[in-house]
Amino acid sequence: MPEINIARQLLAARHEKKITQEELATYIGVSKAAVSKWESGISFPDITNLPQLATYFNMSIDELMGYEPQMTKEDIRKTYNDLKKLFAEQSWEEAMTACGELEKKYYSCFPFLLQLIVLYLNHATLSGNPKELYEHCVELSCRISSLSADVKDARQAVSLETMCHVLMGEPMKALDLLGEEVRPISQDTELLGQIYQSMGKIERAKEVYQIALYQHLLFLVGDSAPLLLLHADQPERVEKIIHRTLQVIEAYQLDTLHPNTAAVFYLTAAQVYCMNEKMGECLKLLEKYVYVCEHCFFPMTLHGDDFFDTLDEWFLEFDLGNQAPRSEQLIRKSMVDAVEGNPAFTGLTENREFQKLVERLQQLL
C-alpha cells in the first residue's frame, strides 16, 4: 500500500535534475545537512518548504511526498480479505479499530470506501449495535455518491445506502432513493453480446451471453425465496413456487454452481413448510440445505462449471475477485445458526431427525 516517502522522492527528483544537495539547499534557503537528513529520512522538510520544493521540481506536493491517497484494485482486494479475517479471529472492537484507521487514511479512495461498506454490512450482526454501523454506512455512501466522479461508484453507493435504510427499518427513505417505478431489467449485457456477434467476435459474444444467463438464473432463484415467504399462507401457491424453483435448481445444478443461492431457497422453503405444519416436507428441504452446507460450499469461491465454462475470468475482474465477502469461519457459524437458532423451527426441536440434522451442521464448526 502507498505510504509517504518524501526521502525517496526528493533523492530521485534531485538526481533527475542533476543538482547537488548543496545547490538544492541554497535554492530553498537551508543547510546542506538539512537536505541530507531529508533524503535519508532522518527528518522532514518544514511544511512551509513543501510548495517551494514542489514548484522547483515541477510536481505536486502529493507527488513530492510520494503519497497517493488511493488504493489499487489489488490493494483493496488484499485489504478486504485481511479485514474479514480480523472480524473472524479478533474482537469486534479490534477489527473496527483497524477498519477505522484505514477509513481515515483512504477517505478519498471511493472504491475502497465502497468495499468497506460491503465489509461492514456483511459483519454488522456481530456488533452490539448494528444500527449505529448502518448509519455510518449511510454517511459513507452519501459521501461517495455526492463526491465521486465515477458514475458506477456513485450508483453503487446509492444502492448501498438504500440497503442500509431497509436494514434500519426505514422503507420511506429507501423508497425516496430507489423510486417507486418498477423498471425493466437492463439488457445492456445482452446488447453487448449482439454487438460482439455483429463484429464477428463469436467467442466473446458467447462469454457475454453466458454472463447474462448466469445472472438471470441467480435472480430467478434468489427472488423466489422472498416471494415464497409472501405467499406462505397460500398452500397451492407455495407448492407451485417450490416445485418450479427446485426444477430450475436441479436443471442448472445450482447446488454446486452457486450453493449459497440454493441453500437460501432450501432454508426458506423449509421454514414455510414448518409454518404450515408440513413437517415431513420441511425435513426434506432441511436435508437438502444440510447436504449443500456439508458438500458444496468449501472452498467458497465463485466459479463456473461444465455449462457455464467461460465465467471464471469474469469473476476475477470483480472488486473482491472470486472470494466470499466473509471468512469461512463466520460462514460456517451462520450455517449452523440459521437452523439451530431459528425460531421458525421451534416445533421441531424434539424431533430426532431434526436433531440429527443440527448435529451434522455442528460438525462444520
Question: Is residue 172, in this structure, part of any structural domain at all?
Answer: yes
Q: Which comes out higher in pLDDT, residue 272 or 299?
A: 272
Question: Is residue 194, in this structure, part of any structural domain at all?
Answer: no
3-state secondary structure the chain: CCCCCHHHHHHHHHHHHCCCHHHHHHHHCCCHHHHHHHHHCCCCCCHHHHHHHHHHCCCCHHHHHCCCCCCCHHHHHHHHHHHHHHHHHCCHHHHHHHHHHHHHHCCCCHHHHHHHHHHHHHHHHHCCCHHHHHHHHHHHHHHHHHHCCCHHHHHHHHHHHHHHHHHCCCHHHHHHHHCCCCCCCCCHHHHHHHHHHHCCCHHHHHHHHHHHHHHHHHHHHHHHHHHHHHCCCCHHHHHHHHHHHHHHHHHCCHHHHCHHHHHHHHHHHHHHHHHCCCHHHHHHHHHHHHHHHHHCCCCCECCCCCCCCCCHHHHHCCCCCCECCCCHHHHHHHHHHHHHCCHHHHHHCCCHHHHHHHHHHHCCC
Whether residues 270 and 345 share a domain: the answer is yes
The structural domain count of the chain equals 3
Whether residues 158 and 269 share a domain: the answer is no
Q: Is the pLDDT of residue 93 over 50?
A: yes
Which pLDDT belongs to residue 66?
A: 72
Candidates 351, 240, 350, 259; CA nearest to 305 is 259
List the single range of 78-82, 106-110, 275-279 with lowest mean pLDDT: 106-110
Picking from 126, 153, 178, the residue at the C-terminal end of a domain is 178
Whether residues 50 and 77 share a domain: the answer is no
Whether residues 42 and 82 share a domain: the answer is no
**pLDDT class for 74, splitting at 50, 70, 90?**
very high
Whether residues 327 and 223 share a domain: the answer is yes
Picking from 17, 34, 65, the residue at the C-terminal end of a domain is 65
pTM summary value: 0.83
Determine the average pLDDT of the residues in 1-25.
85
Question: Is residue 327, in this structure, part of any structural domain at all?
Answer: yes
- 301 - beta bridge partners? 323
Question: Is residue 214, in this structure, part of any structural domain at all?
Answer: no
Whether residues 161 and 42 share a domain: the answer is no
Which pLDDT belongs to residue 68?
A: 60
Determine the average pLDDT of the residues in 33-52.
91
Domain carrying residue 261: 219-362
Share of the chain above pLDDT 70, in %: 98
Whether residues 137 and 252 share a domain: the answer is no
Whether residues 258 and 169 share a domain: the answer is no
Question: Is residue 207, in this structure, part of any structural domain at all?
Answer: no
Whether residues 224 and 344 share a domain: the answer is yes
Whether residues 266 and 350 share a domain: the answer is yes
pLDDT in tens, 301-344: 999 999 999 999 999 999 899 999 999 999 999 999 999 989 99
Question: Is residue 200, in this structure, part of any structural domain at all?
Answer: no
Which pLDDT belongs to residue 1?
A: 45
Whether residues 170 and 104 share a domain: the answer is yes
Picking from 65, 89, 110, the residue at the C-terminal end of a domain is 65
Question: Is residue 183, in this structure, part of any structural domain at all?
Answer: no
Can you say how many angstroms the Cα of residue 117 is from the centroid of all Cα atoms in its chain?
8
Whether residues 38 and 88 share a domain: the answer is no
